[in-house]
Amino acid sequence: MKPAHPVPSRKRARRVVAVVVSLVCAVALSPGTAARADNPIVQHIYTADPAPMVHNGRVYLYTGHDEDGSTNFTMREWRVFSSADTVNWTDHGVPMNLATFAWADANAWAGHVTPRNGKFYWYVPVRQRSNGQMVIGVAVADSPTGPFRDALGRPLVGNGEIDPTVLVDDGGQAYLYWGNPGLWYVRLNPDMISFSGSATRIPLTTAGFGTRVGNSARPTLYEEGPWVFKRNGLYYNVFAAECCSEFIAYSTAPSPTGPWTYRGAIMPRQGSSFTNHAGVVDFNGGSYFFYHNGALPGGGGFTRSVAVEKFAYNANGTFPTITMTSTGAPQVGTLNPYVRQEAETIAWGSGIETESAGEGGVNVGWIENGDYIKVKGVAFGTGATSFSARVASASSGGRIEVRLDSSTGPIVGTCDVGSTGGWQNWTTTTCGVSGATGTRDLYLRFAGGGGNLFNINYWQFGNTAGGGNLLTNGNAENGTTGWGVLGSGTLSSHPDVVHGGTRSLGITGRTASWNGPSQNVTSRLTNGRSYTTTVWVRAQSGTPSVRATLSLTANGTTTYVSLTPAVTANANGWTLLTGTANVSWGGTLSNATFYLETAAGTDGFLIDDVSFQ
Ligand code: FUB
């Protein structure tokens, strides 16, 4: 729903900087050159306290959310973004907020998410309503994008201190660290929501955490925000040092419980925020350092933004000095425009906002004339011929200018958007495209009259040189046409419950977990190619954990390619399955079958808007 209140003032402020950035790009770039200025990662809200996590080929970035115009750490919710390439980030919305913890009333501060037991555990500091004390809560979800639910209905642990981080050691023992002004840990049990023993205070010695001058109450540099991980047998604790303002420093230890040795600074004091907060991951063969600063318009100590730099450890395992840039990390690979891309997958957004979409997921909204979305490094290859976008409008709409290289770059297509009768009444608009070849930065620039024009949920380019959806009737609009059943079960077309369009496809009567809707794609596959799958699923009975799988039979041997992870579907809404997998075989391919199955059980489920390309 569009809110009744006017467009936030920060939106107008942000557009000013985006114009400046695009001018810089226009000067610095020629067509086909990779664009710059992709830090901070998110432009449409303030984000803080990054906690990155790598899972299934994507970096998930969990953050806090500084409210507009904050003059304190006014934070009520957490956010999650994800990226396969470290430059185009998908906004997954608000998977958890203060209301998740019925016993908490304020301070949705710096947390950490860790995967375990097929679930995702999010440890956060919040203020306990009953006594006003900062404590650590833990929430759990079946998917990295949530929704997260309170795992305990009470704090996990609490002593008035903040900033939890978790290390799961090689043997499986997990440690929860937190603290400001102290530094503490407990040993978590395998269930990740209870612990053994009591909280242990880590000795803050100057040998372990450096020397702070002129503060007898805090003689070491350690301030807050520990980030503990293991690399090549060495334990690292990266932390915010010496408030205020803070810099990022680190210590190392031979074991998860110390003894710690101070190793020096990583990131100097920079960036208009008196706090900083680090998260470090390895992804796709590179190392990435996440932090926050006050780089957006209106930004500062209480209106922060998360950014990222790629770095390489020194040969002896020490950190190099890492400084803040507006360039950010280089792109990993390219973005495929011939599969469905979420509109909220953004390298740089100007003027736009995001919100929950009525048909599932998140959409881009509050679009006004001149706003735009930049998507970096889009691999058009030999050329796109069409552009389609999922749009909704309660006003008279406008148009999407499909541009390359900059927001004022060449227009390769223009799609009109009319009124759809509501901000969440979705339809698909398609227009012809000419001149989109090679790998370019894509700019979707929105144009029209005054006020909000339309919302956009997702988009996709088409071409004639292959690369389209390999499935027949993937959107299920033509009943059961094109679909068969692997094993047992009965297909039916459902006009009553749809994800998009007017029909979905259901299966009931399954007698084994591997039974499900299927299509033979033998003649359509290319050996050694990467394929992206998206499927929307919904339970008809129970809570089936649905996944897409490809069976390949070559030279008499059958192998199975997992196309998406299994995700639990429920009957109340649609859940997105998505994944990218390399498909290859040896010898002669005699059968390739795309199918949906469940991790276990025989519950019935619905599918819609299925794409395999
Ligand atoms: O975001 C609130 C607090 O600011 C965090 O918990 C600290 O790490 C500092 O970044």
Of 132, 122, 269, 241, the C-alpha closest to 183 is: 241
**Which pLDDT value is given to residue 529?**
77
Q: How far is the CA of 540 from the centre of ligand 1 (A)?
A: 43
Q: Which atom belonging to ligand 1 lies closest to the Cα atom of 224? A: 8
CATH classification at residue 376 = 2.60.120.260
Note whether 161 and 229 are same-domain residues: yes
Structural domain containing residue 70 = 38-311
**Which pLDDT value is given to residue 531?**
83
Note whether 247 and 187 are same-domain residues: yes
> Which DSSP helix (H) or strand (E) runs through 18?
helix 9-28
Domain boundary among the residues 292, 311, 330 is at 311
What does the pLDDT look like over 72-106, one tens digit per residue?
Answer: 999 999 999 999 999 999 999 999 999 999 999 99
Note whether 160 and 230 are same-domain residues: yes
Residues 233, 254: Cα–Cα separation, whole Å: 7
CATH classification at residue 277 = 2.115.10.20
Residue 14 lies in a domain: no
> Which DSSP helix (H) or strand (E) runs through 116?
strand 112-116
- Ligand 1 contacts CB of residue 46 (under 6 A): no
What does the pLDDT look like over 578-596, one tens digit per residue?
Answer: 888 888 999 999 999 999 9
**Which pLDDT value is given to residue 222?**
98
Q: How far is the CA of 523 from the centre of ligand 1 (A)?
A: 54
Q: How far is the CA of 423 from the centre of ligand 1 (A)?
A: 36
**Which pLDDT value is given to residue 24?**
29
Q: Which atom belonging to ligand 1 lies closest to the Cα atom of 110? A: 6
What does the pLDDT look like over 218-247, one tens digit per residue?
Answer: 999 999 999 999 999 999 999 999 999 999
Note whether 181 and 95 are same-domain residues: yes
Q: Which atom belonging to ligand 1 lies closest to the Cα atom of 292? A: 10
Least confident of 3-12, 199-208, 362-371, 583-592: 3-12
Q: How far is the CA of 321 from the centre of ligand 1 (A)?
A: 22
Residue 12 lies in a domain: no
Note whether 431 and 539 are same-domain residues: no
Task: Say which residues have a Cβ less than 8 Å from residue 384's Cβ, sequence separation at least 6.
Answer: 337, 338, 412, 433, 436, 437, 461, 462, 463
- Ligand 1 contacts CB of residue 64 (under 6 A): yes
- Ligand 1 contacts CB of residue 66 (under 6 A): no
Q: pLDDT over 70 for what percent of the chain?
A: 93
Note whether 65 and 208 are same-domain residues: yes
Note whether 298 and 166 are same-domain residues: yes
Query: Which pair of tokens denotes residue 118?
Result: 């097929």
> Which DSSP helix (H) or strand (E) runs through 391?
strand 386-393
Nearest Cα residue to atom 4 of ligand 1: 275
Residue 288 lies in a domain: yes
Domain count, the chain: 3
Note whether 395 and 510 are same-domain residues: no
Residues 228, 209: Cα–Cα separation, whole Å: 14
Task: Say which residues have a Cβ less than 8 Å from residue 555's Cβ, sequence separation at least 6.
Answer: 586, 587, 588
Residues 42, 61: Cα–Cα separation, whole Å: 11
- Ligand 1 contacts CB of residue 344 (under 6 A): no
Note whether 82 and 49 are same-domain residues: yes
**Which pLDDT value is given to residue 469?**
72
Note whether 404 and 514 are same-domain residues: no
What does the pLDDT look like over 333-350, one tens digit per residue?
Answer: 999 999 999 999 999 999
Query: Model's pTM, two decimal places?
Result: 0.76
Question: Residues 383-401: what's their mean pLDDT?
Answer: 96
Phi, psi of 315 (to 5 degrees): -60, -30
Do residues 376 and 88 make contact, with C-beta atoms less than 8 angstroms apart? yes
**Which pLDDT value is given to residue 66?**
97
Average pLDDT, the chain: 91
- Ligand 1 contacts CB of residue 151 (under 6 A): no
Q: What positions carry a catalytic annotation?
A: 49, 223
